[in-house]
Amino acid sequence: MLQFIYSQLIRLLLPFILFRLWWQGRQAPELRRNWQQRLGFVPRAGGTVVWVHAVSVGETIAAAPMVRRLLARNPSITILMTAMTDTGLTQAMKMFGDQVQYAYAPYDTPGSIRRFLDRANPRILVIMETEIWPNMIRQCRSRRVPVFLINARLSERSARGYERIKGLVAPIMRSISWVAAQAEKDAERFRRIGVAASKVAVTGSVKFDVDIPVAVRQASLELKASFPTRTVWIAGSTHEGEDAQLLAAHRQLLNTHPEALLILVPRHPERFESVTDKVRKQAFSLARRSLGDDPSGADVYLGDTMGELMMLYGASDVAFVGGSLIERGGHNPLEPAGWGIPVISGPYVFNFETIYQRLLDDRGVTMVNDADELYRHLTVLFDDADERHASGQRAFSVVDKNKGALDRVVDGIIERV
């Protein structure tokens, strides 16, 4: 009954969802492109299709090493990557070109899912992290399409929320074939909300298997060479409410280290212009990557392009990971750690609690609460190259010793293909 009520509500909301998509498309025309795919009208796929669903940019990046490994292990399979956002698909296309197929994920109405499955005909569905869509999962099970939750994480807050609607959630959880959980805490929470214990394994996080392609390494070296005398810190994946604090810390840093350069990378492209205005209003000299500006003489270099954050981390000496000075829950600290540079974060990291705990255990990350604390720690790192190197190596060693989840996940998928 709850499943029926859910499906009817989604159907009733669909016209409003489509109207919102059209409205947002006035400013971002790419949102209107291929909108029919959101109703399940995707190109027909042939061969053995592995459907990989990643909600947006972060999950898409996390899926990349897995997709590369799957294609290397079985070149005959067809990878169909879906995302809910245009930025997620753009990121996937930038990474894989014509190696895989792409589509927007269908909205979770019974009809949209049915049309999608009829056309894509997947052999298996691999969902990155925890995207739980009732109709998507239940219809896959009814067609004997195994559903894997990979790199799965579930915070205590989310688990309590699911427990409040356990009548709806538990049947969905029983339809999942395998949960590859990041940590035992995540595994226990999945069991609490209805996944059979035999279907839950603790594989670790595939994000520890940091994959930096040769082309990305080369691009970072070329960018770094354009400001050879500057010491660079990057603030990656920032959100509204953080930029002012980061710019305040940079203003203090410039007073003592005039050679300092901040690479500022907003998480969402719709914020590029507003962040540009903030930087200019505070009288910083600005260079924009999207315009091809020379960053060598700027105070702030705005990373206002998509899909280049990993490369920009590689061109930096110190990294601050955004989404953590506000109650957003943080972003992936392993991307800068994989480059062997010092990692700094704010206190709000509940989206990556296991990863951050491992970094904290080995002093691979420094947590700060505000702009003043950030400035003070940046000063320490800018003044002491040896400490900068040691801090980066501690972060890298955490990545190195926790690798291996990717092999376990790929083995599990290949067995079902």
Q: Annotated catalytic sites, by residue?
A: 59
Inter-residue contact 155 to 350 (CB < 8 Å): yes
- The residue whose two tokens read 């753009």 is 90
d(CA 340, CA 153): 25
Q: Residue 54: which of 123, 149, 135 has the closest Cα?
A: 149
Residue 212 Cα distances to 32, 216, 217, 228, angstroms: 32, 6, 7, 22
Q: Residue 88: which of 116, 52, 120 has the closest Cα?
A: 52
Residues making up the chain, counted from first to last: 417
- SS3 of 321-390: the string is ECCCCCCCCCCCCHHHHCCCCCEEECCCCHHHHHHHHHHHHCCCCEECCCHHHHHHHHHHHHHCHHHHHH
d(CA 320, CA 213): 22
Inter-residue contact 136 to 164 (CB < 8 Å): no
Residue 283 identity? A
Q: Residue 393: which of 349, 324, 351, 343 has the closest Cα?
A: 343
By DSSP bridging, strand 101-104 and strand 78-83 are: parallel
Q: Which two tokens stand for residue 125?
A: 């569905």
Which region, left, alpha or beta, applies to residue 302 given φ > 0 means left and ψ of -120 to 50 means alpha?
beta
Q: Which two tokens stand for residue 127?
A: 């969902």
